[in-house]
Homo-oligomer: A and B are copies of this chain.
Amino acid sequence: MPLITPQDIAAAQTVISGRLHRTPIQPSAFLSNQTGARVHLKLELFQKTGSFKPRGVLNRLHHMSIEEKSKGIITLSAGNHAQAVAWAAQQEGIPATVIMPAHAVQAKVDATRGYGGEVIQTDGNLLEVCQHVQEERGLTLVHPFDHPDIIAGQGTVGQEILEDVPDVDLVIVGVGGGGLISGVAVAIKQANPTARVIGVEPEGAPTMTRSLEKNAPAHLDHVDTVADGLAAPFVGAHNLAHVQTFVDELVQISDEEIIRSMWLIIERCKVVAEPAAASTVAALLSGQVTVPQGGQVVCILSGGNVDRERLKRMA
List A residues at the B interface (Cβ < 8 Å). Answer: 24, 26, 29, 45-46, 48, 50, 263, 266-267, 270-272, 304, 307-309, 311-312, 315
Contact = CB atoms under 8 A, between A and B. Distances in A.
Contacts of A26: 46
A159 B138 CA distance: 56
Copy number in the complex reads: 2
Contact of A272 (B29, B48, B50, B270): B270
Nearest to A272: B270
Given A24-B24, A46-B26, A315-B315, A308 B272 contact: no
B270 A266 contact: no
Name which of A29, A45, A263, A270 has the most chain B CB atoms within 10 A of its CB. Answer: A270
A275 to B, nearest CB: 14
Contact of A308 (B50, B267, B308): B267
B315 A46 contact: no
A50 B28 CA distance: 12
B307 A311 contact: no
A76 to B, nearest CB: 25
B315 A45 contact: no
Nearest to A29: B48
24 contacts: A24-B24, A26-B46, A29-B48, A46-B270, A50-B270, A263-B308, A266-B272, A266-B308, A266-B311, A267-B307, A267-B308, A270-B271, A270-B272, A270-B304, A271-B271, A271-B272, A272-B272, A308-B315, A309-B315, A311-B311, A311-B315, A312-B312, A312-B315, A315-B315
Contacts of A309: 315
A24 to B, nearest CB: 7
Name which of A304, A307, A308 has the most chain B CB atoms within 10 A of its CB. Answer: A308
Contacts of A24: 24
A251 B309 CA distance: 30
A263 B272 CA distance: 11
A309 B263 CA distance: 10
A160 to B, nearest CB: 16
Contacts of A263: 308
Nearest to A24: B24
